[in-house]
Amino acid sequence: MRIDIITLLPELLDSFLNHSIVKRAKSKGLVEIEVHNLRDFSSDERHRRVDDYPFGGGAGMVMQIEPIFKAIKKLTSERQYDEIIYTSPDGEMFDQPMANSLSMKENIIILCGHYKGVDQRVRDFLITREISIGSFVLTGGELPAAVMTDAIVRLIPGAIGDEQSALSDSFQDNLLAPPQYTRPAEFNGWRVPDVLLSGHEANIENWRLQQSIERTQRLRPDLLEKE
């Protein structure tokens, strides 16, 4: 799998892409992640400007279409992409099923937004999908790009040591994960539930399922409505 991220601030992604599971997946050759500085595609060689004032007036600046077009054209001339994603607060909400779907793609471009957003023609003609990580506004699209990349990469077979771990995460099957415990079995008078110490696999799985359902009903009842 290959993920290309187009951004104004590539340094914001350096640390994230070179640690933990993402780094491990890269070192194993499971995923290739390339970060591209949008300013490298600016026609303004001196100032490397990629934004301008909005037509019709108003506060803020807008990312220009020309450098974005050049960046996407260069990438798409080298390989075919399954999705060209724009990180936008008003895009479709990113969730676990979407991460599952994107993890099965071969090549993805993620365009990080900034300022007051991009020239609308980028959204109309250059991208295939707009995705949001929540109903709030961030300074830029680097954090959403990092969040999506992490959620996608950890689902690639071999990215994490125990593949079953990813399949039992929260939001798989629209349920929150059950409570987890580890040693010691008793601490400060607080005991681990006896069923988890019983060694009876069927009872443990049934307890975990019931806990997942109860937690979902209490904390995220909206997930159950998706059934």
Q: Which CATH number do you get for residue 218? A: 1.10.1270.20
100 and 28 share one domain: yes
Distance CA 19, CA 17 (A): 6
135 and 184 share one domain: no
120 and 203 share one domain: no
Query: 161 lies in a domain?
Result: no
Query: 53 lies in a domain?
Result: yes
Q: Which of 34, 135, 144, 38 is nearest to 85 (CA)?
A: 144
**Total domain count for the chain?**
2
63 and 111 share one domain: yes
Q: Which CATH number do you get for residue 130? A: 3.40.1280.10
Query: 159 lies in a domain?
Result: no
Query: 115 lies in a domain?
Result: yes
46 and 76 share one domain: yes
183 and 75 share one domain: no
Q: Which domain holds residue 191?
A: 168-224
111 and 190 share one domain: no
Residue keyed to tokens 């300022």: 115
148 and 191 share one domain: no
74 and 176 share one domain: no
Residues with Cβ within 8 Å of residue 67, at least 6 apart in sequence: 38, 39, 41, 42, 43, 50
Q: What is the largest CA-CA distance in the chain?
A: 70
Question: What was the pLDDT predicted at 171?
Answer: 64
pLDDT in tens, the chain (227 residues): 999 999 999 999 999 999 999 999 999 999 999 999 999 999 888 899 999 999 999 999 999 999 999 999 999 999 999 999 999 989 999 999 999 999 999 999 999 999 899 999 999 999 999 999 999 999 999 999 999 999 999 999 999 876 555 555 656 678 888 999 999 999 999 999 999 999 999 999 999 999 999 999 999 999 888 75
Query: 162 lies in a domain?
Result: no
